[in-house]
A and B are shown apart, each in its own frame.
Chain A
Amino acid sequence: MLSYLIRRILLMIPTLLGVSIVTFAIVALSPGGLGGSLLGPNSQLRPEERKAIMAYYTARYGIGQPVYVQYLRWLGRVSPLGPKAAGEGWPGSWKIGFKIPDLGESWQVHRPISDLLSESLPITLLLEFTSLPVIYLISIVTGIQAARSRGKVVDVGLGTFLIGLYSMPEIWIGVLMIGFLTNKEYLHWFPSNGLHDITSDAMPFMPSFGPHGFERGWLLDTAWHLVLPLICLSYGSFAYLSRLTRGSLLETLGLDFVRTARAKGLMEKTVIYAHAFRNSLLPLITVTASFLPGILAGAVIIETIFGLPGMGQLFASAAINTDRELLLALTLIFAVLLMISFLLADIAYAIADPRVSYVD
């Protein structure tokens, strides 16, 4: 297992290199090339100011040099193993070695990208990790229900409803939710924007009864802000997974050991929950790898619609403003996140299925 893990983590390196080459190539091939986006925001400047700024960027990013030189410079900065100033990192006296990666500075907001990430990444991860249990819980419950009433009206109706549900574009549901559920003209049930209320800093952490009656506190306030984004992020995957649970459970229910269990006279509940369900879990775990990119990309849409200052929104704004440094850094982070989650799904698979062994 350990050797498998190490091999998988080492295999990530060439893939990440590939991702960085692909994204760098896309940026380099775009009109205006690598420095193209610099000309836009600075076009209001006086010529000498503009010259100074261009000179600074040319020195820092090597704009004007061949693409591969720029790529290698960027790679040297970003990678944790590479050229560094003597005195930092490890080993301290060498000019090459391990160091803290420097993701650069956003060209649009002029702040270090690592700062931007430390603010936005937790929000995206919060969204992802709260949506996953919700997705699994609901889909397993409905999937089992559908499988138990196979062929009946409930099953067929639920099946069609679920196909309909995952055909609904997130952009549409998100816009409708904001329009109808956060709007004073219709139903003002939820906040329309952001992750916290303006006054949330002054709130106590837990809900409590204060002098003004019930106060929802920081925790409940955040949860309240997260309800709509979470629904919007989850329903597609939930619909997909629910149908998969049904199919997988039905397949298991046709196997011999289930017939044996029934022949022994076990209760239907015991047959399903204790015998069949655990054996039908495997496809649910393997499929996680296939819908995780979807939820990660969904964060881009949902954070943009609901105004959550997470990584998805940061990425969307970086793309629209063609902020090269931020784009390159964020695509790399997206790739890292995705590969880590693929790895976690594989490990979960190995734990759930004793037949799978990664020992060579």
Chain B
Amino acid sequence: MSIEAAQVMSESEAPLAVTVRARRSIGRQAVIDTLARPGARLGLAWLGILAFFAVFGPFIANTHPILMKSEGHWSSPMLRSLTPVDVLLLAATGVAIVLWIGRWFSSGIGLLIVIATPIVLAPAAYLLVQPPANVDYSLYRTMISEGKVERVAFTIIPYSPSDRLRDRTDARLSPPNAAHWFGTDNDGADVFSNILHASRVALSIGFMATGISVALGLLIGGTMGYYGGAFDLLSMRTIEIVEALPRLVLLITISALARHRNIYLMMAIIGLTGFTSYARFVRAEFLSLRQRDFVQAAIAAGYPQYRIIFRQMLPNALTPVLVSTTFGVASAILYEATLSFLGLGLVDEPSWGALLEQARAGGNGFIWWIALFPGLAIFLTVFSYNLIGEAARDALDPKLRKRD
């Protein structure tokens, strides 16, 4: 959207095109350069598909019918089964689409509104949206076979991830076929439905964990680099201590000892253990930026500290950090998958890593369709982020830039 707007601008104001191009910030130019690369486009395309699955998962794979006419009146069990999180995600996506069409999205305010929407609506959603606590998935199939349903419309894949097809004992471990595109797992649950719903877990853990890491890294690294002194020394020792253990070892220790693992805990621990590299990086940037003339001039001019830090130094340190953020998201997703694979991940929620573990240690030997497809999903997602990261790094590297 922002790119299109910029292009439209430069075309409509042809005489001014040169100045418009020159006025683009480094960040915006980097985004444009990144998106010019085919690798980044491929990566974004896959992430777009995943994001679509993450938001519209309940509308694509659900045992609850979209519409059902039973004993004379219509109902929509699918809408009634939506959780508050489903509703909030849909609301945020709706706001984003409206902003996009209205062309307000490109500014930072648009993004803020999209992020704020679910937070503002959360209390209302948790009060108003109350899906039934106990679900009998076989109910609809029984009703249909008994002829109690006159008209019914299912989603494309009529299986929820936790629908273990208890009414159909032959459904366990069936290889990929027309009804189950990626087969079924040890319990009889549809593998495709599980992969699709797990994309939400993977994406959100990737984003939130990296967000926590970057925020902490900027805060601690920036303070270390700007003020130096005892805080710098102490923080550096702390970073060394955290880095003295492989991150996976630290994550395994924490998640093994946490009794109630949920998605928020996973986000927090993966985020908290990953701040060190960002902190080191920002510290080094701030140390060198402090010596630069424009910062010295700002200090000499008597600008307040927050202005020097946030308006002068931070924007100059931010762009390279954002590049490493894409790699950070990739590794956060990998860590989540690995923890789930070792049996230390989410409980009661579909996860790519947990599916892979079923293929290995499910007690039925090696089931290729449970091993292949979830792993492929992890791989494609991590690959996408890495491709985007590589493209962004190349776009930002002045040595590799051909134009200008």
Chain A residues within CB distance 8 Å of chain B: 14-16, 18-19, 22-23, 26-27, 29-32, 160, 163-164, 166-173, 175-176, 178-180, 183, 185, 293-294, 296-297, 300-301, 304-305, 315-316, 319-320, 322, 327, 331, 334-335, 338-339
B344 A319 Cβ-Cβ under 8 A: yes
Q: How far is the CA of A297 from the CA of B89 in the complex (A)?
A: 35
Answer whether A331 and B378 are a contact pair too, CB < 8 Å, given A19-B244, A172-B356.
Answer: no
Type the 1/0 row for B371-384, where 1 means its CB is closer than 8 Å to any CB of A. 11011101100110
Answer whether A339 and B244 are a contact pair too, CB < 8 Å, given A167-B379, A175-B356, A304-B342.
Answer: yes
A205 to chain B, nearest CB (A): 33
A163 B390 Cβ-Cβ under 8 A: yes
Q: How far is the CA of A45 from the CA of B347 in the complex (A)?
A: 29
B386 A30 Cβ-Cβ under 8 A: no
Q: B253: which of A18, A26, A301 is its contact (CB, 8 Å)?
A: A26
Q: B244: which of A29, A30, A169, A335 is its contact (CB, 8 Å)?
A: A335
B375 A179 Cβ-Cβ under 8 A: no
* 6 A-B pairs closest in CB distance: A172-B375, A30-B257, A18-B241, A297-B248, A319-B256, A297-B246
A319 B252 Cβ-Cβ under 8 A: yes
B2 to chain A, nearest CB (A): 26
A189 to chain B, nearest CB (A): 14
Which of the four size classes fits the interface of chain B? 35 or more
> Which residues, 209 to 253 on B, are CB-close (under 8 Å) to A?
237-238, 240-249, 252-253
Q: B259: which of A30, A169, A296, A305 is its contact (CB, 8 Å)?
A: A30
Q: Which of B52-60, B299-307, B330-338 contacts A (4 or more CB under 8 A)?
A: B330-338
Nearest residue (CB) in A for B254 is: A26
Q: Which residues of the other chain, A, contact B246 by a CB distance below 8 angstroms?
A: 293-294, 296-297, 334, 338
B248 A300 Cβ-Cβ under 8 A: yes
Q: Which residues of the other chain, B, contact A327 by a CB distance below 8 angstroms?
A: 253, 256
Nearest residue (CB) in B for A316 is: B342
A18 B359 Cβ-Cβ under 8 A: no
A19 to chain B, nearest CB (A): 5
B258 on the interface (CB 8 Å rule)?
yes
Q: Which residues of the other chain, A, contact B344 by a CB distance below 8 angstroms?
A: 319-320
A163 B383 Cβ-Cβ under 8 A: yes
Nearest residue (CB) in B for A159 is: B390
Nearest residue (CB) in A for B379 is: A168
Q: Which residues of the other chain, A, contact B342 by a CB distance below 8 angstroms?
A: 300-301, 304, 316, 319-320
B239 to chain A, nearest CB (A): 10
> Which residues, 369 to 404 on B, are CB-close (under 8 Å) to A?
371-372, 374-376, 378-379, 382-383, 386-387, 390
Please name 16 further chain A to chain B contacts, defined as beta carbons within 8 Å, in addition to the given A179-B371, A322-B257, A334-B246, sorted by A numbering: A15-B237, A18-B240, A19-B245, A166-B386, A169-B337, A169-B378, A171-B337, A173-B375, A179-B360, A293-B246, A297-B248, A300-B248, A315-B249, A319-B253, A331-B249, A339-B244
Q: How far is the CA of A26 from the CA of B246 in the complex (A)?
A: 16
B245 A169 Cβ-Cβ under 8 A: no
B188 on the interface (CB 8 Å rule)?
no
B206 on the interface (CB 8 Å rule)?
no
Nearest residue (CB) in A for B342 is: A316
Q: How far is the CA of A164 from the CA of B360 in the complex (A)?
A: 23
A26 B257 Cβ-Cβ under 8 A: yes
Q: How far is the CA of A16 from the CA of B375 in the complex (A)?
A: 36
Type the 1/0 row for B328-352, where 1 means its CB is closer than 8 Å to any CB of A. 0010001001100111100000000
Nearest residue (CB) in B for A183 is: B366
Answer whether A334 and B390 are a contact pair too, CB < 8 Å, given A168-B379, A179-B366, A304-B342.
Answer: no
Q: How far is the CA of A331 from the CA of B251 in the complex (A)?
A: 11
Nearest residue (CB) in B for A179 is: B366
> Could you pull out 21 A-B pairs where Cβ atoms are within 8 angstroms?
A18-B237, A18-B244, A19-B245, A30-B258, A167-B386, A169-B378, A169-B379, A169-B382, A170-B338, A172-B374, A175-B356, A175-B359, A175-B360, A178-B366, A179-B360, A185-B366, A294-B246, A300-B249, A301-B248, A301-B338, A327-B253
Q: Which residues of the other chain, A, contact B343 by a CB distance below 8 angstroms?
A: 320
B183 on the interface (CB 8 Å rule)?
no
B240 A15 Cβ-Cβ under 8 A: yes
| Chain A contact residues: helix, strand, loop or mixed | helix
Q: Which residues of the other chain, A, contact B360 by a CB distance below 8 angstroms?
A: 175, 178-179, 305
Q: Which residues of the other chain, B, contact A300 by a CB distance below 8 angstroms?
A: 248-249, 252, 342
B371 A297 Cβ-Cβ under 8 A: no
Q: B383: which of A164, A293, A334, A339 is its contact (CB, 8 Å)?
A: A164
Q: How far is the CA of A335 from the CA of B245 in the complex (A)?
A: 5
Q: Which residues of the other chain, B, contact A172 by a CB distance below 8 angstroms?
A: 356, 371, 374-376, 378-379
Q: Which residues of the other chain, B, contact A14 by a CB distance below 8 angstroms?
A: 237
A169 B253 Cβ-Cβ under 8 A: no
Q: Which residues of the other chain, B, contact A168 by a CB distance below 8 angstroms?
A: 379, 382
B277 to chain A, nearest CB (A): 9
Q: Which residues of the other chain, B, contact A163 by a CB distance below 8 angstroms?
A: 39, 383, 386-387, 390
Nearest residue (CB) in B for A299 is: B246
Answer whether A27 and B257 are a contact pair too, CB < 8 Å, given A167-B382, A293-B247, A316-B342.
Answer: yes
Q: Which residues of the other chain, A, contact B341 by a CB distance below 8 angstroms?
A: 171, 301
Q: A179: which of B249, B258, B359 is its contact (CB, 8 Å)?
A: B359
Q: How far is the CA of A42 from the CA of B66 in the complex (A)?
A: 50
B368 on the interface (CB 8 Å rule)?
yes
Q: Which residues of the other chain, A, contact B243 by a CB distance below 8 angstroms?
A: 293
B353 on the interface (CB 8 Å rule)?
yes
Q: B330: which of A167, A320, A331 is its contact (CB, 8 Å)?
A: A167
Nearest residue (CB) in B for A339 is: B244
Of the candidates A18, A19, A297, A322, the one having the most CB atoms from chain B within 10 angstroms of its own CB is A297
> Which residues, 249 to 271 on B, are CB-close (under 8 Å) to A?
249, 252-254, 256-260
A240 to chain B, nearest CB (A): 10
Q: Which residues of the other chain, A, contact B353 by a CB distance below 8 angstroms?
A: 171
Q: How far is the CA of A304 from the CA of B248 in the complex (A)?
A: 14
Nearest residue (CB) in A for B257 is: A30
B68 to chain A, nearest CB (A): 39
Q: Which residues of the other chain, B, contact A170 by a CB distance below 8 angstroms?
A: 338
B375 A171 Cβ-Cβ under 8 A: yes
Q: How far is the CA of A180 from the CA of B372 in the complex (A)?
A: 11
Answer whether A16 and B253 are a contact pair too, CB < 8 Å, given A168-B379, A171-B375, A304-B342.
Answer: no
Q: How far is the CA of A253 from the CA of B254 in the complex (A)?
A: 46
Q: A169: which of B237, B372, B375 is its contact (CB, 8 Å)?
A: B375
Q: Which residues of the other chain, B, contact A319 by a CB distance below 8 angstroms?
A: 252-253, 256-257, 342, 344
Nearest residue (CB) in A for B39 is: A160
